[in-house]
């Protein structure tokens, strides 16, 4: 919003300067001069808006194009530019939230604007390419994190660590598009390493495999497993309940890929105690 206001202010300044005209007695000449100055101001504002688009400053560009409409009310070109730029901004915002379908829809809408500008159509094409690339990469990284989570839940800590090491060493994993996955991977990595160390220590003391796994879980801090966390009224929380809870979170716009099944089960218990069947992010204290 601040960038849009800056664009509007700058454009109005251009219009104000162009609006200064010498006094004269010939009203026809004055009107002609005013029209020329208005056209000059309009052209300068549109040019500034296109420059902002080239610099990917879409909020600022929108401010300029909206100001062009103040200069020439109902102008078809400025109206089209405003619609196209708004669609670009919506596409970017959706992409930042990993709402890929919405991002694609908004980017495609740029090219359907009647009288739209070809330069913004090109920007939309580039953005669509980026969206598709990010979506493909996101799904691949999400699959790796889920694979590591499954290995961890099965107490295959070495397997989980190997997968997580590969994931967190990806060159673009720290990009904002993958922030949720990266954070979840780092969190799980710490838990898996702690569990593996604890498991190795108890194994060295001659404990059985099942006892070792149990001690590993209890020695891993936030990843410790308490039987009470996995049951409601003495009945074990099922995989179907966990899956449904993840779907409920997805419906709330929450990506639960970084949540372990234990996180989900704890949230289910909190919701149940509150008399609810659907969980919220707050139930697990994760948001």
Specify the DSSP class assigned to residue 278. S
Point out which residues pair with 235 in neighbouring strands. Answer: 232
Instruction: Name the nearest CA neighbour of 246 among 230, 258, 228, 234.
Output: 258
Query: For 156-165, 207-216, 246-255, which range has the lowest pLDDT when averaged over its residues?
Result: 207-216
Average of per-residue pLDDT across 55-72:
93
Q: Do the Cβ atoms of 50 and 119 come closer than 8 Å?
A: yes
Q: Evaluate if pTM is beyond 0.85.
A: no
| Confidence at residue 213, expressed as pLDDT on a 0 to 100 scale | 42
Average of per-residue pLDDT across 253-274:
81
Residue range 103-126, pLDDT digits in tens: 999 999 999 999 999 999 999 999
Q: What is the mean pLDDT of the chain?
A: 81
- Rounded CA separation 77/121 (Å): 14
- Rounded CA separation 175/189 (Å): 19
Terminal Cα distance for the chain, rounded: 26
Position 222 confidence tier, pLDDT thresholds 50, 70, 90: very low
Radius of gyration of the chain (CA): 29
Q: Do the Cβ atoms of 128 and 148 come closer than 8 Å?
A: no
Q: Do the Cβ atoms of 264 and 279 come closer than 8 Å?
A: yes
Position 142 confidence tier, pLDDT thresholds 50, 70, 90: very high
């Amino acid at each position: 919003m601040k960038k849009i206001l800056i664009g509007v202010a700058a454009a109005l300044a251009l219009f104000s300067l162009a609006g200064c005209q010498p006094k004269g007695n010939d009203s026809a000449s004055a009107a002609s001069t005013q029209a020329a100055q208005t056209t000059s101001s309009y052209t300068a504002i549109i040019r500034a808006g296109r420059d902002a688009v080239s610099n990917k400053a879409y909020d600022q560009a929108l401010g300029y194009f909206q100001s062009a409409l103040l200069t020439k009310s109902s102008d078809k070109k400025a109206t089209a530019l405003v619609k196209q730029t708004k669609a670009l901004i919506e596409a970017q915002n959706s992409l930042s939230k990993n709402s890929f379908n919405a991002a694609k829809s908004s980017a495609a809408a740029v090219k359907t604007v009647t009288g739209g500008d070809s330069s913004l159509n090109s920007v939309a094409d580039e953005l669509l390419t980026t969206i598709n690339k990010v979506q493909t990469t996101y799904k691949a990284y999400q699959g790796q994190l889920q694979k590591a989570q499954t290995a961890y839940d099965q107490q295959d800590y070495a397997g989980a660590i190997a997968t997580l090491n590969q994931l967190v060493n990806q060159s673009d994993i720290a990009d904002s598009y993958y922030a949720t996955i990266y954070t979840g991977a780092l969190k799980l990595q710490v838990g898996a390493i702690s569990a593996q160390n604890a498991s190795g220590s108890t194994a060295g003391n001659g404990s059985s495999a099942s006892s070792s796994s149990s001690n590993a879980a209890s020695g891993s801090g936030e990843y410790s497993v308490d039987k009470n966390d996995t049951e409601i009224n003495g009945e074990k929380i099922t995989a179907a309940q966990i899956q449904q809870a993840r779907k409920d979170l997805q419906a709330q716009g929450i990506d639960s890929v970084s949540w372990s099944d234990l996180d989900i089960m704890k949230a289910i218990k909190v919701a149940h105690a509150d008399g609810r069947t659907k969980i919220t992010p707050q139930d697990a204290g994760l948001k």
